């Protein structure tokens, strides 16, 4: 029984201690109930990456996940989505989910942004100048 807005509260805490949201990924967003992308959009508006890291799980249907991603992308936040699967087996889950996004009409350039550009940008380390 995790509060639906826990990710927003989590981001509040990080920001309160000076963490730049652009350096954060808030995960398990694909575990939210329903098809709404409102929490994801609120996180992205503040600069955070949104992690879909439990794709092809057994608690939520992929259909709902695809609908949620489409709403998120339609809101203009393609540059804030990260895909992964925190599983120790069946590493093809993300590839199958990407195929579902493609079948739902997500363009090749958007998929490139999600799969290549976003992880590259998120994982880039730029040391502070002294």
Q: Angle at Cα 23 formed by Cα 18 and Cα 28, nearest 5°?
A: 110
For residues 67 and 29, what is the distance between their CA atoms, to the nearest angstrom?
A: 13
Phi, psi of 57, deg, nearest 5: -80, -175
pLDDT of residue 10: 96
Domains and CATH numbers, the chain: 6-123 (3.20.20.140)
Stretch (H or E) spanning 108: helix 108-112
pLDDT of residue 15: 98
pLDDT of residue 59: 43
pLDDT of residue 3: 85
Query: Cα–chain-centroid distance for residue 109?
Result: 17
For residues 122 and 103, what is the distance between their CA atoms, to the nearest angstrom?
A: 26
Regions of the chain where pLDDT drops below 50: 57-59
pLDDT of residue 58: 42
């Amino acid at each position: 029984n995790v509060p639906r807005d826990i990710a927003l509260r989590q981001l509040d805490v990080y920001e309160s201690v000076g963490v730049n949201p652009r350096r954060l990924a808030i995960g398990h967003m694909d575990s939210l109930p329903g098809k709404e992308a409102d929490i994801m959009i609120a996180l992205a508006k503040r600069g955070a990456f949104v992690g879909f890291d439990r794709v092809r799980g057994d608690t939520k249907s992929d259909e709902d996940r695809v609908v949620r991603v489409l709403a998120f992308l339609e809101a203009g936040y393609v540059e804030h989505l990260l895909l992964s699967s925190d599983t120790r087996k069946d590493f093809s889950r993300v590839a199958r989910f990407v195929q579902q996004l493609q079948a739902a009409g997500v363009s090749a350039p958007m998929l490139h942004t999600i799969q290549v550009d976003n992880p590259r940008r998120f994982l880039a380390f730029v040391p502070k100048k002294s």
